[in-house]
Structure 1
């Protein structure tokens, strides 16, 4: 997207109207609020739905398999952002991508809401994966479009937007978790579908007035000849994939285990290829190439961070269900409620961090240093959760406050890394790859969860101290290394802070 187009977009958006920020932030805040409500509501009960017995309304899958599927599902959700970002950049723009994605997500939750088989479960997963790939990176990309690159409100705006994400994430496990675990899983999934429907309504009825041209400009459109070629390739690829699946499943070649291994490889390979293509593209300038090099260590740090944070819905969810004393202060706690802790702490602390970055202005830590702090807190959160096993052993139920403390510490890291990473991505992205670079940012989460799918099988109550200790220790070592290299990385960012 040219600088002239960027200026036209910013000029078309009312720059005041939502807590001192552009009015378009209202539309994006509440669209993402409802989308995240639907996603985190579904996710809060999904792992339990997979491994609970059929007599309890679940699918009756093996626990380790359910944890691995959960990680692979999360990886594919973010991996599909490549397709969503590319379609937005080259064919129909970010606004249409958001709309189409919301439709697919809603139908995916509707399929989950209908009692069915394991086959129906995987159909719903495909719909939600594709829909989130269209919506998730593009709604964040539009947030970047409504601010000029020199606007000091930019990081604060992303923090407010991030608070909207987490407000939906906080309410969803409390409501959907309560209904799904205590009453009926499918009714819980139906509530998630309604959430996505409300998000679509907000987007449709407020975008024209609040967003102006944001989301409507195709950054790097395909020519008619290129479109025909792309459509042919997509059609051929779909047919080949269908044939491969039809042949390899009956032969026993494509199993859960081989699929998990394949996604693990793709989780690392795809972002590597993406970096190479963007760096070598003739549409990428010399300054943009330097910024891509600066982005690589930030990407690696992000992978390590999300490898820990995303285990809140797998290992720590299992820990809450199996290892935690759920009777506390006279109340019975639902294991799904612990997944509200992360967004709750972000809701409380996001305004504090947003105010802090604005208050510090040019004195705030550089982006690489913020990332190193994020990694440090992530590592500490895993060191904390190994302590109850060390103190009381692996046989007794632990006080739920240990989980609360672990979630709190990782949130401190998340607020140093995630909204800052979103903002930095929009500033470091090559102009011809704006939405696709946002997809690349989400690929760090995909890579993290692809790795998690391989390592969750090593977790048992007996190995939990080694498991948490090794992963937490590696994160802390990486944070120290990133902090030491931060001045060098900052130099490659060519003026971006």
Structure 2
């Protein structure tokens, strides 16, 4: 997008109206608030819906299959962001991508709200994966278009927007989760659909007066000839995929287990291809190649971190349901409530960490050392949760405060690694690949969840201590290695701090 178009967009947006920020931030804040409410509300009950018996309103799948499906689903959500970003950049712009994505997400939740078969369940997952891939990366991009590059409010604006994400994520498990678990799973999914509908209504009825031209420009539009070629490729690819599925499923070649393997391979292969293409490109300078080398160990560390953090909605969700004493302090705790702990702790402690880094100034840890700290906390969060089984045995129900402590420790790691990773990605990215490198950062989460789909099958109450111990120990070991080599990695960054 040209500098002239960027300036036109900024001039078209009312620049005062939401806590001293552009009015468009109000639209995007509540659109993302309701989208996250919808997504995390659905995710809070998804695992339980899959493995609860049919007589209890579930699908009756075995625990390990349900755990693997949630991991595969999470991986595909992050992979689909690449497609959503490309469609917005080349075909219909970010605003339409947000709208189309919201429609698909809502339809996915409506499909989940209708009692039906396993086939309907997978249809809903496809709709939500595609919809989230369209909406999630593009609504954040529109936030950036509200401000000029010199606007001092930009970072604060993203902080406010980030608060909307976490508020929606915090409220959803308490509401959707409670209704889904106490009354009916499908009623909970229906409430998630209503949440997305509210987000769409907010977006459609306020965007014209609040967003101006933000999200309407197509950054690098396809020519008519290119568009025809792309649609032919998409059509041919879709047809070929349908034929492959139609042949391999009846023959027993394409099973859920083989799908898990395919997703696992893609989770590693796609980012690897990204790295190779950027490193070998003639548009990448020698200094940028050095920074890419520095980025590789950070990316590997991020995969390890997210592999633990994302198990908060799989293994620890299962742990909350089956291994935790839910009658506590005179109240009955819903296992879904634990899913609210991560956003709650982020809301509370994100400003503390932001203040801490500013206060330390030049004395703050380097980027690799912050990543090492993040991994250390992630590993400790898993070692903490194995202690109850060690102290009380695998059959005793666990005090819920152990789970609270585990979620708290991993959030400390997230605040050391996640925002720092976003910032480091923008600094270390080759100029010619700045947008793609941001997509690459999100693929660290996709790779982590693809790996999780392979390893969650090893979890059971009898292997609990070994499972948490091996993964937690591996994270701590990797954090030590990263810390020891931090100076070397910093040298490859060529002046980036």
TM-score, normalised by the number of residues in structure 1: 0.92
- 2:76 maps to 76
CA distance in 1, matches of 2:115, 2:244: 29
CA distance in 1, matches of 2:10, 2:296: 29
- 1:302 maps to 302
Q: Secondary structure at the match of 1:249?
A: helix
CA distance in 2, matches of 1:434, 1:209: 31
CA distance in 2, matches of 1:283, 1:90: 21
Superposed, 1:17-166 pairs within 5 Å as 17-19=17-19, 23-146=23-146, 156-166=156-166
| 1:228 lines up with 2:221 in the alignment | no
Q: CA deviation at 1:251?
A: 0.5
The runs of 5 or more residues in structure 2 that have no matched partner are none
CA distance in 2, matches of 1:296, 1:253: 35
- 1:245 maps to 245
- Residues 344 and 336 of structure 1: CA distance in aligned 2, closer, same or farther (over 3 Å): same
- 1:370 maps to 370
* Farther off after superposition, 219-228 or 432-441: 432-441
Q: CA deviation at 1:185?
A: 0.6
Q: Secondary structure at the match of 1:133?
A: helix
| 1:204 lines up with 2:216 in the alignment | no
**For this pair of structures, how many residues does the alignment match?**
497
- 1:344 maps to 344
The runs of 5 or more residues in structure 1 that have no matched partner are none
Q: CA deviation at 1:80?
A: 1.0
State whether residues 137 and 435 of structure 1, in contact with CA within 8 Å, keep that contact through their aligned partners in structure 2.
Answer: no
TM-score, normalised by the number of residues in structure 2: 0.92
State whether residues 158 and 422 of structure 1, in contact with CA within 8 Å, keep that contact through their aligned partners in structure 2.
Answer: no
Q: CA deviation at 1:207?
A: 3.5
- Residues 106 and 281 of structure 1: CA distance in aligned 2, closer, same or farther (over 3 Å): farther
Q: Secondary structure at the match of 2:202?
A: helix
Q: CA deviation at 1:123?
A: 0.3
- Residues 428 and 446 of structure 1: CA distance in aligned 2, closer, same or farther (over 3 Å): same
- Residues 216 and 224 of structure 1: CA distance in aligned 2, closer, same or farther (over 3 Å): same
* Farther off after superposition, 9-18 or 335-344: 9-18
Q: Secondary structure at the match of 1:396?
A: coil
State whether residues 94 and 142 of structure 1, in contact with CA within 8 Å, keep that contact through their aligned partners in structure 2.
Answer: yes
* Farther off after superposition, 415-424 or 389-398: 415-424
- Residues 196 and 488 of structure 1: CA distance in aligned 2, closer, same or farther (over 3 Å): farther
State whether residues 86 and 435 of structure 1, in contact with CA within 8 Å, keep that contact through their aligned partners in structure 2.
Answer: no
Q: CA deviation at 1:258?
A: 0.6
CA distance in 1, matches of 2:462, 2:19: 50
CA distance in 1, matches of 2:116, 2:348: 39
CA distance in 2, matches of 1:216, 1:290: 36
CA distance in 1, matches of 2:368, 2:96: 33
CA distance in 1, matches of 2:284, 2:26: 33
CA RMSD of aligned residues (A): 2.6
CA distance in 1, matches of 2:89, 2:385: 42
- Residues 304 and 159 of structure 1: CA distance in aligned 2, closer, same or farther (over 3 Å): farther
Q: CA deviation at 1:27?
A: 3.0
Q: CA deviation at 1:107?
A: 0.6
